[in-house]
Structure 1
Amino acid sequence: MNTMYTSYFKVAWRNLGKSKTYSFINIGGLAVGMGVAILIGLWVFDELQYNTYHGNYDRIAQVMQHQTFNGEIGTQEANPAVMAEEIRSVYGSDFKYVVQASWNYDHTLTLGDKMLLISGSYFEPEVPHMLTLEMVSGTRDGLKDMNSILLSESVAQTYFDHADPVGKTLRIDNTVDVTVTGVYKDIPYNSSFYDLKFILPWSLYLSQNEWVRKMKNPWGSNFTRTFAMIADHAEMEQLSAKIHDVKLNKISDEERRYNPIVFLHPMYKWRLYSEFKGGVNTGGRIANVWLFGVIGAFVLILACINFMNLSTARSEKRAKEVGIRKAIGSMRKQLVVQFFSESVLIASLAFVCAILLVLLILPSFNTVADKRIELPWLNPTFWLAGAVFTLFTGLVAGCYPALFLSSFQPVKTLKGTFRAGRYASLPRKALVVLQFTISTTLVIGTMVVYKQIHHGQSRPIGYSKDGLVSLGVTEEVHKHFDAVRTELVNAGVILEMAESGSPTTSVWNSNGGFDWEGKDPNQAVDFPNNAVSHDYGKTVRWKIKEGRDFSREFASDSNAFILNESAVKFIGLKDPVGKIIRWEDVPYTVIGIVEDLLVESPYAPVRPSMFHLSTHRENIFLLKLNPAVNAQEAVSKIETVFKRVNPALPVAPTFVDQEYSRKFGDEKRLGTLSTFFAALAIFISCLGLFALASFVAEQRTKEIGIRKVLGASVSGLWRMLSQDFVVLVLISSLLAVPIAYYLISDWLAQYEYHTEASWWIFAVSVFGALLITLLTVSYQAIRASLMNPVKSLRTE
């Protein structure tokens, strides 16, 4: 038995060597398809494994809340700072851990002359246990002392090289000294806590922010995060329903209008199911997982179709082999096994080539996909999956050729009278139609993705981001704001400078408690409410539509609002300039209306927003660079001036246009990957056309010779051989257009501000498919047309 199977593979190897060009195309096409499938498989696996590094990930959740603002239900991560303690005290038996946390942001860590900006958070002490951090040194209980810190292994090496840092002291934000009590292994990239490079105690946060402890209404401000790990006996959904009213029971009747609904969002859903609309989880990145999974399957199917077409294209060359084998006693079953052996051998060789292809592409793929994927060389599951994948691909690719070739009748093949029936080509043509339907659909989808990106990028943003630089505010520079601004303006490196509570690319603060003439007393509102300095408008170059900007000439501007256009529409005030809006019962006069500033998603409506003058230190410095000065020189001068005022902290300027471009990151990644996969799909489909063209040319060799003898021209023969393929591509286009339209309409529907699927996208895609078809087929068609008719008509 073993000898028989060995002979199958020997014969298969000889057949590959007989036709090197055929073998190269067949193995290469299958390798490309398998390589794409492996890449996508690794990407999908990485997405599905997100957060599984944490041993308790299936029992960890984030405490979130739905609230009704401005007539809509919104979902947020932010909670009051007392949320964790309330849940512990009321529902403590249902939870193993409940921890309060700050947001993750950059802090300066100083050791001697070494001072770097490192991202980290304040947490309550149980978080190392909850996240199952793997300790390199020290203990998970290291956050119980207020002046302690846990470091990631990479940060520890940066500051202490290979020495044990436990017991050593670091200075945080140049304000307080903390002692290293533990070092944990770096959290992997596919974790929501990847940027958690150090952890500080929550008690230290409270000591540094006295206003938190002295809040008159601790339930009225949402500014922290809350994480929990449920007890072993608890069920996530039941417990989520149980804490439903934990906040509602603690707030005033006035705040009850917001109808806060507290719930648990499980860690295993953070990555793939993170979108909420109207208080309902509508999915999220899971759509991309399905999308790329389907694309990977389709690209592999395209490669398998090529194998089938290339195998059947050589059918007449193998017909006599089949006839002789049957004549000397081979059963059809044995021939089927023979052809399956060939396909499995080709699939095995293709798998080796696919692994090499993946190794070559993976670094670029990781860059585009924002991943850190590696081939799991030492994982036996990977190789077992690879073996199953190769066998499956070989069987799928070889099923049609095996059944087709093994069905030849020996008498006809040995007499040379074998001809396939008139409908024998239909399966091959159907496969080509399927190939180009998939490929054209991918091309249309890719073009729509880029059109949507351009649509968002070309949307008016209401301010000028060119040459706009942001910096974190420090107390020292804030105290010397006027002097710093004057020096930089006089040096000619900036045109203007301002402070802001939020960056121009996101909302860091929103408020309720607004009232105006005609407002429904039962309506709960919440507006982004940015505190800015006088020159904010001049710095960002916003556009005043009505009224005026803030001015130092008017002392009354300390109680003034500037509204955006969306706020005017929402409030419904006619001639709003001069009208009074009360905020927490304090009257503010509307002095101006500005064009909507696009601060959040470029694909969502701009929220009603307000601006008022700041009364204390804010979070962001904004500087408008002088376009007449080299940007690098300007930033260098800014850093010098800031360092002179505050030498203890590093300066890290950020260009706003770069921050804004990050808003298109997901769409750009989708577009780039779609382009890559669509190009490969077209390439593989062209190989399929090449196979079918060679088959047709082989089948019609004598017909072409007769036509040439009778006076047919090369161009006429080219047209005759090409028209069938044009018809196939037109059929595939007729199928692809409605399928693509349905899919892209569904994709675009997730964006409130979106482009349309223009007719020209479909036209260009169809025309491109036809052009590529003609270019691919022309080689075989012209080659057959130029063949010497004497050779074509010669009988054997």
Structure 2
Amino acid sequence: MIKNYLKIAWRNIVRNKAHTFINVAGLSVGLVCSLLILLWVQNELSVDGFFKNSSRLYCVYEHQNYDHTMHGSYNTPGPTAEQMKKVLPEVEYATSAGFDQTNTFQVGDKILKQSGSAGSADYFSVFSYKLLQGDAKSALNTPASLAISRKMAVAFFGSPQAAIGKTIRYENSKNFTVTAIFEDLPKNSSQKFDYLINWYAFLNENGWAREWGNQGPATFVMLKPNTNPAAFEKKIAHFLDAYNGTIRKTSTFIIDLGIQRYDEGYLHGKFEGDQFVGGRIEYVRIFSIVAIFILLIACINFMNLTTARSVKRAKEIGVRKVVGAERWVLIQQFIIESLLITIISVGISLLLLVLLLPVFNQITQKQIELPFNQTSFWIKLGLITLITGLVSGSYPALFLSSFNPVKVLKGTLRLDVGTTLFRKGLVVFQFVLSVILISGTIVISRQMNYIQSKNLGYDRENMIYIPLEGDLLPKYNLFKEEALRMPGIQSVTRVSDEPTNIQNGTGGVNWIGKDTTVNIQFSQASVGYDFVKTMKLKVLSGRDFSKEYPTDSVGYILNEAALKRIGYKDPIGQPLTFWGKRGKIVGLIKDFHFNSMHDAIRPLILRLREHETYGSILVRTEPGKTREALATMEKICHQLNPSFPFTYNFSDQEYQKLYKNEQIVGKLSNGFAFLAVFISCLGLLGLAMFTAEQRVKEIGIRKVLGASVGSLFALLSSEFLVLVVIALFIASPIAWYATGKWLQDFAYRTPVHWWMFALSGVIIIFIALVTVSFQSVKAALINPIKSLRSE
């Protein structure tokens, strides 16, 4: 029986080559899109899910109440982890973690930059990264301890075995002993580092992290078995009261603690108030829906084309019923045909997957591998194949098997109005999804263009960041003098944080008339002379810091947002106390963007610190002379700082990194929107071919009666264009709502105009017209004698 079904199915596939090609092409493209998204979603969901005892591993976060609003943050006081382990019996292990940073290491003559962080003694007990050498409990238990990756061990010592116990120079200032070598971190790890220094070594460099009143480091805990996480979270809510109680009693700045499972943080890391409201999980959901939509569009093509060609198979069905075939037998036959076409499409989609995955990885900046050796992949692929085949073949099977054999054999079979409307409804649904995807692509593209073209309040072109490290710190003024003598360099200054991402905040600001019932948080950065000039910021009143005014050591420059919160009407010369240092406001600058456009511009205070112990040099080069300036600065750095390799970043590139996710989403949206439209148009082409074939005699009669080619073309095309226009009217409000929701994540966003959706409609109508035009023109040009003679 099954063999007979397959034989008949294969004959039908071979006999109707154009119909088969369109179905297979549509399903293949739909399947490869769905498989790519499936692999990406699997990768996203697997991030940080590989740790032992993952269900007991938690990240501690804060609820901070300031400006009468709750704010969430993963930053905690430095001593939190150590104190939690001491006083909370539910905590089995606890570790603090420093910031991601890039530092210089040296062994002999080899000097390399490596990315890493800091961790306390329990780090490898909390995070079960595989250790190749060393012990988890002693890997980071002394200030001289250093754990490095396999890659770093091979780079410096040739092998992990040769690296253990060896000495390595750090920042040309201290020596560490390699006490552990860990396997290179998994590709699905959200943490990326090649070394970890001991926590107390980090504290020696960052004394502020010892204080309970400062936040910055991260805190992770491993709870003991059978601990109730909800009860533990409730218990630690006011944990900090005993350590920063003075702050709590004297201001409205209240900090409560909470916990989040570590493996949930990557996808659910977005705070709104004191709640988690999403994060990357939103993109996982969006693209999962897109995958379903694209596959559904391909399935609809199959339904539509098979149903449209029902008249061609009517006699076959009638004869089968007359000789005794029951309806369920016919249903099986058509379902098997659908499954066979789906299996062929799956085979082609796997070949496409092999070809496209490297490009997909490049776009998504992932390292996804083909999981052909995983049983779970083949099980999922089998389910997708089965579901696709059943969905594609279900309606045609039920519809074709319902034909009345008497009407079929008499030649009086006509498709009823309901069937025709259903088929047209499927076409409309296809193009509704296509319009939504195209509209989304247009809005995302507009937003990215808006981000690129918006005036940030400073000029990010021709500006370079050079890290202040090693001997450059004490020799910064000498570097500045030497650089300004060289051609191609306009100005030089320094700053504690790169201007594209100033994150440091404080509530330690006081002024005359301050409302003590409100705690206002200010962003802050320390800068050098000529900062305003180098950044090309607009001074609204007052001036930049100047060597002509010695009192500028306690002078402050505010942005407009800071002045608005402070409330001075004429700020220049007014008193301001920052971290207990009383000084005066010397300048007011126009607001500029120093963070992502996801966030509104925050109040900012700039203070003068020519001798800060960290930060970056900012160099403004003359247009067109960047390469010459870089060669000059590299030469100066080698002279002043020979133990450190010359490294730099461009301001505009660092700005682009703020929108990495949006850039990836934009590229994927472009590709998937194109493929959705392509699949829809394949179906439209098939329907146009069938319609022209069915109306060949009508066309011949119309031509004999004098109908022009243009009128025939309009006749054959109008039916499909009406469907596309209906789809446009249905899709536009849905697209408007969806794109509006996406844009809400940006504090600064492009306006959504009606013409964006109209443009989507124009694009769809044009593509649809081009799709059906060839077949319509071909039918209109056919010799009417041949048309009227055709059977």
Report the TM-score, using the length of structure 2 for normalisation.
Answer: 0.96
Aligned to 1:108: 104
- CA distance in 2 between counterparts of 1:208 and 1:584 reads 20
Matched, 1:122 2:118: yes
Aligned pairs, number: 787
Amino acid at match of 2:164: V
Amino acid at match of 1:517: I
Q: Structure 1: which 5+ runs fail to align?
A: none
Of 201, 206, 213, the match for 2:203? 206
Amino acid at match of 1:697: A
Aligned to 1:648: 643
- CA distance in 2 between counterparts of 1:484 and 1:208 reads 24
Amino acid at match of 2:615: I
Report the TM-score, using the length of structure 1 for normalisation.
Answer: 0.96
Of 42, 45, 52, the match for 1:45? 42
Q: Is the 8 A contact 1:604 1:751 kept in 2?
A: yes
- CA distance in 1 between counterparts of 2:764 and 2:684 reads 12
- CA distance in 2 between counterparts of 1:735 and 1:205 reads 59
Task: Go from structure 1 to structure 2 and tell me whether the alpha carbon gap of 1:518 and 1:342 turns closer, same or farther (over 3 Å shift).
Answer: same
1:162-241 counterparts in 2 under 5 A? 162=159, 164=161, 165-193=163-191, 195-209=192-206, 211=207, 218-241=211-234
Deviation string, structure 1 residues 50-83 (Cα, Å, up to 9, x no partner): 1112223322122121212334322222222211
Aligned to 2:3: 6
- CA distance in 2 between counterparts of 1:744 and 1:66 reads 30
- CA distance in 1 between counterparts of 2:745 and 2:516 reads 33
Helix, strand or coil for the counterpart of 1:792?
Answer: helix
Helix, strand or coil for the counterpart of 2:601?
Answer: coil
- CA distance in 2 between counterparts of 1:46 and 1:703 reads 55
Helix, strand or coil for the counterpart of 2:366?
Answer: coil
Aligned to 1:675: 670
Aligned to 2:701: 706
Q: How far has the Cα of 1:795 moved from its partner?
A: 6.2
Deviation string, structure 1 residues 267-297 (Cα, Å, up to 9, x no partner): 1321121111222221222211111111110
Helix, strand or coil for the counterpart of 1:251?
Answer: helix
Q: How far has the Cα of 1:539 moved from its partner?
A: 1.6
Q: Is the 8 A contact 1:440 1:765 kept in 2?
A: yes
Helix, strand or coil for the counterpart of 1:774?
Answer: helix
Aligned to 2:140: 143
- CA distance in 2 between counterparts of 1:686 and 1:667 reads 28
Q: How far has the Cα of 1:489 moved from its partner?
A: 1.5
Aligned to 2:531: 536
Helix, strand or coil for the counterpart of 1:250?
Answer: helix
Task: Go from structure 1 to structure 2 and tell me whether the alpha carbon gap of 1:131 and 1:634 turns closer, same or farther (over 3 Å shift).
Answer: same
1:196-345 counterparts in 2 under 5 A? 196-209=193-206, 211=207, 218-256=211-249, 257-345=252-340
- CA distance in 1 between counterparts of 2:205 and 2:615 reads 19
Aligned to 2:92: 96
Helix, strand or coil for the counterpart of 2:658?
Answer: helix
Aligned to 1:62: 59
Aligned to 1:722: 717
Matched, 1:427 2:425: no
Q: How far has the Cα of 1:163 moved from its partner?
A: 5.9
Helix, strand or coil for the counterpart of 1:592?
Answer: strand
Deviation string, structure 1 residues 241-283 (Cα, Å, up to 9, x no partner): 2111111222243444210111112213211211112222212
Helix, strand or coil for the counterpart of 1:433?
Answer: helix
Deviation string, structure 1 residues 626-659 (Cα, Å, up to 9, x no partner): 3255322321221221121111112210001100
Deviation string, structure 1 residues 15-37 (Cα, Å, up to 9, x no partner): 22222222222111101001111
Q: How far has the Cα of 1:564 moved from its partner?
A: 0.4
Q: Structure 2: which 5+ runs fail to align?
A: none
- CA distance in 2 between counterparts of 1:463 and 1:795 reads 73
Matched, 1:633 2:631: no
- CA distance in 1 between counterparts of 2:505 and 2:592 reads 15
Q: How far has the Cα of 1:544 moved from its partner?
A: 0.6
Helix, strand or coil for the counterpart of 1:479?
Answer: coil
1:70-89 counterparts in 2 under 5 A? 70-89=67-86
Of 758, 781, 795, the match for 2:776? 781
Matched, 1:450 2:448: no
Matched, 1:663 2:658: yes
1:361-760 counterparts in 2 under 5 A? 361-614=356-609, 616-627=611-622, 630-760=625-755
- CA distance in 1 between counterparts of 2:539 and 2:731 reads 48
Q: Is the 8 A contact 2:468 2:617 kept in 1?
A: no
- CA distance in 1 between counterparts of 2:14 and 2:157 reads 60
Q: Is the 8 A contact 1:348 1:390 kept in 2?
A: yes
Deviation string, structure 1 residues 435-458 (Cα, Å, up to 9, x no partner): 001100111111111222222333
- CA distance in 2 between counterparts of 1:441 and 1:196 reads 40
Amino acid at match of 1:44: V
- CA distance in 1 between counterparts of 2:304 and 2:504 reads 61
Aligned to 1:792: 787
Q: Is the 8 A contact 1:152 1:185 kept in 2?
A: yes
Q: Is the 8 A contact 1:475 1:617 kept in 2?
A: no
- CA distance in 1 between counterparts of 2:215 and 2:750 reads 35
Helix, strand or coil for the counterpart of 2:370?
Answer: coil
Helix, strand or coil for the counterpart of 1:778?
Answer: helix
Helix, strand or coil for the counterpart of 2:419?
Answer: coil
Helix, strand or coil for the counterpart of 2:176?
Answer: strand
- CA distance in 1 between counterparts of 2:694 and 2:623 reads 71
Helix, strand or coil for the counterpart of 1:610?
Answer: strand
Q: Is the 8 A contact 2:597 2:747 kept in 1?
A: no
Helix, strand or coil for the counterpart of 1:456?
Answer: helix
Q: How far has the Cα of 1:690 moved from its partner?
A: 1.2
Q: Is the 8 A contact 2:462 2:623 kept in 1?
A: no
Amino acid at match of 1:582: T
Q: Is the 8 A contact 1:563 1:609 kept in 2?
A: yes
Moved more, 499-508 or 388-397: 499-508
- CA distance in 1 between counterparts of 2:37 and 2:95 reads 36
Helix, strand or coil for the counterpart of 1:314?
Answer: helix
Helix, strand or coil for the counterpart of 2:118?
Answer: strand
Deviation string, structure 1 residues 703-731 (Cα, Å, up to 9, x no partner): 22221221211111111111111111111
- CA distance in 1 between counterparts of 2:131 and 2:578 reads 49
Of 155, 174, 197, the match for 1:158? 155
- CA distance in 2 between counterparts of 1:521 and 1:573 reads 16
Q: How far has the Cα of 1:135 moved from its partner?
A: 2.0
Task: Go from structure 1 to structure 2 and tell me whether the alpha carbon gap of 1:212 and 1:584 turns closer, same or farther (over 3 Å shift).
Answer: closer
Deviation string, structure 1 residues 349-391 (Cα, Å, up to 9, x no partner): 1111111112211112122222211121111111011111101
